Amino acid sequence: MVTPAVSIESIQKQFGKLNALKGIDLTIEQGEFFGLLGPNGAGKSTLINLMAGLLKPTHGQIKVMGHDVQKDYQQSRQNLGVVPQELVFDPFFNVREMLRFQAGYFGRGPENDAWVDEVIESLGLADKANTNMRRLSGGMKRRALIAQALAHKPPVIVLDEPTAGVDVELRQMLWDFIKRLNRDGHTIILTTHYLEEAETLCGRVAMMKAGEIVALDTTENMLRQFAGKNLCLKLKGSLPASLLPMLKHGENNLFTLGLNELGQVEYALSELRKAHVDVEDMQLIEADLEDVFLSIVGKGSSA
């Protein structure tokens, strides 16, 4: 059996009285592109910080590439690259210096410089490589932060909201680069609040809520099982009461109905006919991860 990239066993984490993680079990295989989703405060970053050894678990065990993050922390950290959520930087140095230092902490020497340059190039940092970190724009700082996590070319890469506050161009660049690393065998773990990103990138996702994993499946299965399709209607008049159970959201005369199977379109239309409500416009839309997210994590919470 191949060693999992990350294995998490009954992890609990308490901050004082707050139960931030209430027993997480999760195995992420090598080579996966894995999404960790959940509303603010769900515990995603806490879980990542536990993997990185920045926090100590109250209970449970985490292994990265088979190495316990507490007992064999040197090996486990050697295998892990983490992009922290907070935009932090060292104001004393420029981008290239920082990256070389970062690789150096992991024991990488001049033989690694070519890789550092590749990271700089691939994240569009080339013309900022000799700029002091302090003088970078917010988005550029974010790129440097991502680059720092990659400097030692870790097999397991964890990105905690890497696209917060970055422009379209970088997102494109970043995902091209990360997808390439994934194809080369690196395991990617991603948290993001942009669900369309997770949908296109992640092969498997876990949804977290209040310190628990509430759903865990391949992205494909999630989309199929939970969401079905959406029927968007523009009506002259209001929605008949018989269709209210299917209503996902509605405003003015625009209504979105969730469908579990296509046959329900026929039912909806016949109910409208019965109620003498005219249909001005109608559209059938594939459900996306956002629908799944809302149906699992609950309406009213945003991703």
Ligand X SMILES: Nc1ncnc2c1ncn2[C@@H]1O[C@H](COP(=O)(O)OP(=O)(O)OP(=O)(O)O)[C@@H](O)[C@H]1O
* Residues of the shown chain interacting with ligand X in the complex, contacts defined by CB under 6 A: 15, 18, 20, 38, 40-46, 85
For position 15 contacting another protein by CB under 8 A, the verdict is yes
Q: Which CB atom, from 66 or from 203, has the smaller least distance to another protein?
A: 66
Residue with the shortest CB distance to Mg ion: 45
Which has the closest alpha carbon to 269: 241, 243, 236, 238? 243
CB of 123 to another protein, least distance (A): 17
Orientation of helix 113-122 relative to helix 168-183, angle to 10°: 140
Distance of alpha carbon 38 from alpha carbon 191, whole angstroms: 8
Q: Which CB atom, from 39 or from 81, has the smaller least distance to Mg ion?
A: 39
CB of 49 to another protein, least distance (A): 8
Q: Total residues at the site for Mg ion (CB under 5 A)?
A: 3
CB of 198 to Mg ion, least distance (A): 14
Count CB neighbours of 103 within 10 A.
23
User: Which region, judged by CB under 5 A, interacts with Mg ion, from 40-48, 148-156, 215-223, 289-297?
Assistant: 40-48
Instruction: Give, rounded to a whole angstrom, the gap between the first and last alpha carbons of the chain.
Output: 35
CA gyration radius for the chain? 23
Angle at 161 between CA 157 and CA 163, to 5 degrees: 105
For position 101 contacting another protein by CB under 8 A, the verdict is yes
Contact with another protein (CB under 8 A) among 53, 155, 211, 228: 53
The DSSP annotation for 233-253 comes to EEEESPPPGGGGGGEEEEETT
CB of 206 to another protein, least distance (A): 22
**Which pair of tokens denotes residue 182?**
């994934």
Distance of alpha carbon 184 from alpha carbon 163, whole angstroms: 22
CB of 183 to Mg ion, least distance (A): 27
For position 45 contacting Mg ion by CB under 5 A, the verdict is yes
Q: Ramachandran region of residue 215, left (φ > 0), alpha (ψ -120 to 50) or beta?
A: beta
Are 182 and 188 contacting, i.e. CB atoms less than 8 angstroms apart? yes
Q: Where are the beta strands (DSSP E) in 118-163?
A: 156-160
For position 106 contacting another protein by CB under 8 A, the verdict is yes
Distance of alpha carbon 55 from alpha carbon 58, whole angstroms: 9
For position 249 contacting another protein by CB under 8 A, the verdict is no
CB of 148 to another protein, least distance (A): 6
Which H or E element spans position 37? strand 33-37
Q: Which CB atom, from 31 or from 41, has the smaller least distance to ligand X?
A: 41
CB of 39 to Mg ion, least distance (A): 10
Q: Which CB atom, from 93 or from 194, has the smaller least distance to another protein?
A: 93
For position 85 contacting Mg ion by CB under 5 A, the verdict is yes
In the numeric block, the tokens 């088979």 are attached to: 66
Q: Which CB atom, from 213 or from 231, has the smaller least distance to ligand X?
A: 213
Name the site residues for another protein (rule: CB under 8 A). 15, 52-56, 73-75, 77-78, 80, 82, 84, 86, 88-93, 101-102, 104-109, 148-149
